[in-house]
Amino acid sequence: MAESPMLPKMVGQRVKRREDPRLIQGQGTYVDDLKIVGMEHVAFARSDIAHGRIKSVDTSVAEAMDGVTAVFTGAQIAEFVKPVPIITPFPSPDHRAVVVDTVRYVGEPVAVVVATNRYIAKDAADAITVDYEMLPAVVDTEKAMTGQPAQLHKDFENNLSVALLPSGTGVSPDGQTVDDTALDQAFADAEVVVSQRMVNHRLAPSAMEPRGTVAHYEPGHNKMTIWSSNQAPHLLRGAIASMFGMGEDQVRAIAPEVGGGFGAKVQAYAEDYVVAGLSKKLGIALKWTEDRSEAFLATTHGRGIIGYIDIAATNTGKVLGMKLRLIADIGAYNTLFTAAIPTFTTLMANATYDIPAIRTTITEVFTNKTPTDAYRGAGRPEATYFVERGLDMLARKLAMDPAEVRRRNFIQPNQFPYTTQMGAVYDSGDYAAALDLALQNAGWDKLKAERDQAQAEGRLVGIGLSMYVEVCGLGPSAVLPTGGWEHSQVTIERDGRINATTGASPHGQGNETTFGQMLADQFGVPLDHITIHHGDTAIAKQGIGTFGSRSQAVGGAALHLAGGKVRKKMAKFAAALLEAHEDDLVFENGRISVKGAPDSGKSFEEVAAYAYVPVPLPEGLEPGLSEEAFFEPSNNTYPFGCHIALIEIDRDTGEPTLRRLIAVDDAGNLINPLIVEGQIHGGLAQGVGQAMIEEVQYGDDGQPLTSTFMDYAIPRAADLPRFELDNTVTPTPVNPLGAKGVGEAGTLGSTPCVVSAAVDALSQFGVTHIDMMLRPEKLWQIINGGQS
């Protein structure tokens, strides 16, 4: 047919993101862009001390200011906002949205102002004064474990939220009995043991768009609409409904354009609850927009885990056993996932290796700092860092090639599905293939020779290598307390255009493009005839959200199933029109026709129109073309890869420069390699950022020292080399797409390989480990004979 152009297959193509033109031209609508008639503005007065008991709060000046509608103290807020809920099965202290008696970190809300504009609200919040009885600030995590210098929460002695929670070899599933026989034997048999304390320091997620919330309660309908810069609007809907005694039919949550989340925007925050609660109480629409200074203090931090690792091995580099003791500095409160993050670290302690005996323990400690929660990788980068740095130390001690040590311990392709000592069931993998490709792309032997040559010339050049495996595509409902499925609805409209929804709530992942590509292929129609809707619970009826690298693997699978259902139904309509058998039909180039006879067919639009005015209605069919599907994966996915870094350190100044970063990633089947590369680029940048320049720091008094971008460095393009990417493809059997997930991968291997490269460059000065970040001064001290 002349008017039916040949449509290329879309899946697997490097299609440019459909989202980008609007985003880069300033045409996106973010929470702060919303305006509602009569809307007023909320500002929070926040604690400027780390720890103290509130003696009194003086709101009189604020209340008297022109334009101030109302001021609320913590006690007043507590009358209608219950403590902030969490989702993990660990004991948790009372966490008030606004402090009632004791402040526990700088930035914690102490009072709330509602005013007619944002400027007045901010001024009024500044005019609120709080009189505190100062308490000692708990800053040092390991000191905090002895209850020193103070205890944060009444029922949590020694500031312990979780104490020495064991898992691994010989631990019963309920964690109650621990049998150390195998582990002790491994260490008894060891010819070599490496032991190291490592700090995987705190990071500030630093999304380009800080958080923001608009709540609009309509008393006439008894309905609440909440817009929030959030990764999981369906969870937000449930959280708001249950907080205020409403039904999920009475709350609509919308995540409009979201300018980055990185895990820190999964949860409903204190501010979401307060803004919603106040909207309900006052009966007006309210807006709160977090400013950058607030974001550094009030949005959860990531990482913050100290690891003590011991590796027992033979002289040939075979690992016999491993101990990993984690101490997590979780900050002042448990928030949504806080307590669970270190459990992802222990879950992944096997890494890519067949290790016969592993013991991990988790201790989580309250400190007077911003709470920690998920941040890109959420527990898995920490596992990768500890284990890969540990193996690097082992290789160095045995004077073995770091690649060779890994190779000798890999889980082999024929061992999958592989149940680890930690209880994870790795779905599929070929770790040697990823390693080999990375070594080849790096020119490993040549690279080593170049390093040796450079070092002989007095230059401080080093190389580092890291494998990684991560748990993604979360997951079966058994492992995710929110439910582990995703949902999608696909509708062919009467004009043949396609509306599809996804419960995954992308915020930078490009699913409008990848999901569009999938449907374009499934229906043989042009990509621009398809619109993917997300982020609004009234439109995408069900969903969990985008986190844990799950949107493609789980959300994409749900879309695929829903699309399949509609396609089947549409084929029946077409079969009736064409007097053919539905199984003989192909959807191609905008037409549905009998296989091998394209001219015999009908256009996609004709069939769609027929389905909505079905005269005659084929027997057994209902009118219309709209189907939905839930997809529950049978397991998580376990993407993996290998990253290699080349670093040079300036001998005079200690400044490190990353010269090369070679990455091979295996995320299973790729829907859009261009988008995958973008995800990896971002992840690598953040992983390198942690290794080299990013660190949240606090003073001894609990004052944050890095709460502006003048002091908290995040990587710029110019800080990074041109990434050398490649991939292997090992599909997963746990979803119909074979896709594993890739959002977080870049942050896993990059951090340890960069640090290992720095250790390699400086090993001539006797160091075997350097704690991140790679501050020039720290490296300069090592070069000049000081300790790291």
Partner 1 sequence: MIPSNFDYQRAQSVDDALTKLAASGGTGKVIAGGHSLVPMMKLRLHEPTTLIDIARIGELSGIREQDGLIEIGANTVHHDVATSSLLRNNCPIIAETAGMIGDPQVRNRGTLGGSLAHADPAADYPAALLALDAQIQLQGPSGTREVAATDFFQGLFTVDLADNEIITAVRFTPVQVAAYAKLYQRASRFAIVGVAAALVINQGSMLRKPTIRSSRIGLTGAASHALRLTSVEEAVAGQAATAEAMAQAAQGAGAKIDDINADLHASEAYRRAMIQVFTTRALQGALARLPA
Tokens at 6, concatenated: 């040949």
Q: Can residue 123 be called a binding residue for partner 1 (CB under 8 A)?
A: yes
Residue 657 Cβ vs partner 1, minimum distance, rounded to whole Å? 12
User: What is Dmax (Cα atoms) for the chain?
Assistant: 89
CB nearer to partner 1: pick between 581 and 716: 716
Tokens of 145: 């474990």
Identify residues 253-292 at the interface with partner 1 (CB under 8 A): 291-292
Residue with tokens 């990531």: 302
Residue closer to partner 1, measured from CB, 563 or 715 = 715
Q: Segment near partner 1 (CB under 8 A), from 364-372, 564-572, 650-658, 731-739?
A: 650-658
**Do strands 212-218 and 626-631 pair parallel, antiparallel, or not at all (unpaired)?**
unpaired
Residue closer to partner 1 (CB basis): 227 or 698: 698
Determine the Cα–Cα distance for residues 552 and 361; give it in Å rounded to an integer: 32
CA distance 296 to 26: 25
Q: Residues 715, 655: contact at Cβ < 8 Å?
A: no
**Minimum Å distance from CB 654 to partner 1?**
8
Q: How far apart are CB 428 and partner 1 at their closest, in Å?
A: 40
**How far is Cα of residue 9 from the mean position of the Cα atoms in its chain?**
31
β-pair type (286-289, 102-103): unpaired
* The residue type at 60: S
Q: State the residue for tokens 């409403």.
A: 246
* Closest listed residue to residue 757, CA positions, set 726, 721, 715: 721
3-state secondary structure (DSSP) of residue 32: helix
- Retrieve residue 271's tokens: 């501010």
Binders of partner 1: how many residues, by CB under 8 A? 26
d(CA 444, CA 75): 63
User: Which CB sits closer to partner 1, 702 or 743?
Assistant: 702
Q: Nearer to partner 1 by C-beta: 595 or 716?
A: 716
Nearest distance in Å: CB 712, partner 1: 6
**CB contact at 8 A, 129 and 111:** no
Helices 233-243 and 270-282, packing angle to 10 deg: 50
**Can residue 709 be called a binding residue for partner 1 (CB under 8 A)?**
yes
Q: Least separation, in Å, of the C-beta of 99 and partner 1?
A: 21
Strands 286-289 and 302-313: unpaired
Short-list 450, 552, 541, CA closest to 491: 541
Does residue 706 interact with partner 1 by CB under 8 A? yes
Does residue 53 touch partner 1 according to CB under 8 A? no
CB closer to partner 1, 566 vs 774 = 774
478 binding partner 1? (CB under 8 A): no
Q: Per CB under 8 A, does 118 bind partner 1?
A: yes
Distance CA 542, CA 560 (A): 16
**Measured distance CA(158)–CA(151) in Å, rounded:** 6
**Contact between 652 and partner 1 per CB under 8 A:** yes
Work out whether 600 is an interface residue with partner 1 (CB under 8 A): no
β-bridge partners, 593: 586
Least Å distance between CB 126 and partner 1?
A: 8
Question: Minimum distance from CB of 765 to partner 1 (Å)?
Answer: 16
Beta-sheet pairing, 640-649 with 418-419: unpaired
Q: Assess 116 for contact with partner 1 (CB under 8 A).
A: no
- Among the candidate windows 163-171, 243-251, 374-382, 707-715, which touches partner 1 by CB under 8 A? 707-715
Q: Which range of residues in 45-53, 103-111, 184-192, 775-783 is near partner 1 by CB under 8 A?
A: 775-783
The nearest distance, CB 119 to partner 1, in angstroms, is: 6
Of the pair 31, 135, the CB lying nearest partner 1 is at 31
The answer to whether 712 contacts partner 1 (rule: CB under 8 A) is yes
777 binds partner 1 (CB under 8 A): yes
Q: Which residues contact 50 (CB under 8 A, 6 or more apart)?
A: 103, 104, 105, 106, 137, 139, 368, 369, 698, 701, 702, 703
How far apart are CB 464 and partner 1 at their closest, in Å?
Answer: 20
The yes or no reply on residue 24 touching partner 1 (CB under 8 A) is no
Binder to partner 1 among 55, 119, 657, 766 (CB under 8 A)? Answer: 119
Q: How far is the CB of 771 from partner 1 (least distance, A)?
A: 16
Q: Could you tell me which stretch among 127-135, 416-424, 482-490, 702-710 binds partner 1 (CB under 8 A)? A: 702-710
Does the footprint of partner 1 cover residue 659 (CB under 8 A)? no
The dihedral formed by the CA atoms of 287, 290, 291 and 297, expressed in degrees to the nearest 10: 150
Measured from the CB of residue 297, what is the shortest distance to partner 1 in angstroms? 12
Told to check if 66 binds partner 1 by CB under 8 A, we report: no
Strand partners, 198: 307
Neighbours of 481 (CB within 10 A): 14
780 near partner 1 (CB under 8 A) = yes
Where do the H-state alpha helices sit in 132-232? Answer: 141-144, 181-189
How wide is the angle at C-alpha 516 spanned by C-alphas 513 and 522, nearest 5°?
Answer: 145
Binder of partner 1 out of 131, 189, 700, 711 (CB under 8 A): 711
Is the Cβ of residue 419 or residue 653 nearer to partner 1 in the bound state? Answer: 653
Q: Which of 32, 209, 257, 294 binds partner 1 (CB under 8 A)?
A: 294
Number of H helices, E strands in the chain: 20, 28
533 close to 540: Cβ distance less than 8 angstroms: yes
Angstrom distance (rounded) from CA 774 to CA 695: 10
Q: Single out the residue of 634, 653, 657, 764 in contact with partner 1 (rule: CB under 8 A).
A: 653
Q: Are 266 and 337 in contact (CB under 8 A)?
A: yes
Half-sphere exposure of 329 (CA within 13 A, CB side): 26
The residue within the footprint of partner 1, chosen from 655, 724, 726, 771 (CB under 8 A), is 655
CB of 717 to partner 1, least distance (A): 10
Q: Which is nearer to partner 1, 206 or 421 (CB)?
A: 206
In the list 23, 178, 425, 713, the residue contacting partner 1 (rule: CB under 8 A) is 713
| Site track for partner 1 across 328-367, x = CB under 8 A | ----------------------------------------
The residues that touch partner 1, with contacts defined as CB under 8 A, are 118-119, 122-123, 291-294, 652-653, 655, 693, 697, 705-706, 709-713, 716, 719, 775-777, 780
